[in-house]
Amino acid sequence: MIEFDDDMTACADLVHKGDPDRFATVMASPVAVRKPLFAIYAFNLELSRAPWASTEAMIAEMRVQWWRDVGAEIAAGGPVRRHYVATPLGQVLRSDLGVHIDSMAEARRWDIYRDPFDDEAALVDHIDKTSGSLMWLAAATLGAEDEQSVRRFAYGVGVANWLRAIPKLVAEKRVPLLDGTSEGVRALAQSGLTALKEVRANRGAIAASARPALLPGWQASTILKQAISAPQRVAEGALGTSEFHRRASLIYRVATGCW
């Protein structure tokens, strides 16, 4: 039996409360992979919350920088500072993967300020550095080698998650879309759906051991199709399905291995 120490139990609890969708995918995965996934997803939550920790930009910057320093410690292969998330993260993450934390943290600085993205390419880059890097950390830790395919799949998942976050970001006075028209929303959602289809058409490129890392995309196709057919649902915060459908679709993905 694999036992969780206090730190790992805290990571699992953090994900349970703050990221229930990813928590569900971890609990649906083999017991042996739950420790690394909980540590990585707990880190992602802590990093994503750092920019919102204070209305003072300097304090928020310091919170983000703290995680950049953690990433540097992991990349250096030396001891990692004592922290209930950073410590277990350092235990499960290979040193060569630690470098991705810096770009993830840099992308999160966008949340501190209220400037729009410079162009569509900047939004795509933001999604890659957040959703893409997170999924790659998880997948590589579980044995994946095809980074391009993982990041391509993560882009589709990231677009779906981004569209679901639009109402909250707008309420916080951020500018999440350069083109918020129905056509613009449809185009973004279609780009995400195309990415999912491309990677799923070549599933063999990703190691079977890494499948749990891709499970967080189990709802993405449905959400993107909703945004394409009814883009007004994005602003209304009405993307998603019933709890029954959510659970049933995850069970199906796990049972068939068709992430």
Q: How far apart are CA 74 and CA 137, in angstroms?
A: 13
Q: How far apart are CA 182 and CA 187, in angstroms?
A: 9
* Burial label, 148 (beta-carbon count in 10 A; 0-12, 13-18, 19+): exposed
Q: How far apart are CA 113 and CA 51, in angstroms?
A: 9
For tokens 């993450």, the residue is 93
Structure tokens given for 105: 């943290």
Q: Which residue numbers in the chain have pLDDT < 50?
A: none
DSSP string, 118-152: SSHHHHHHHHIIIIIHHHHHHHHHTT---HHHHHH
Q: What's residue 181's pLDDT? A: 97
Q: How far apart are CA 199 and CA 172, in angstroms?
A: 34
Q: What's residue 3's pLDDT? A: 76
Q: What's residue 1's pLDDT? A: 55
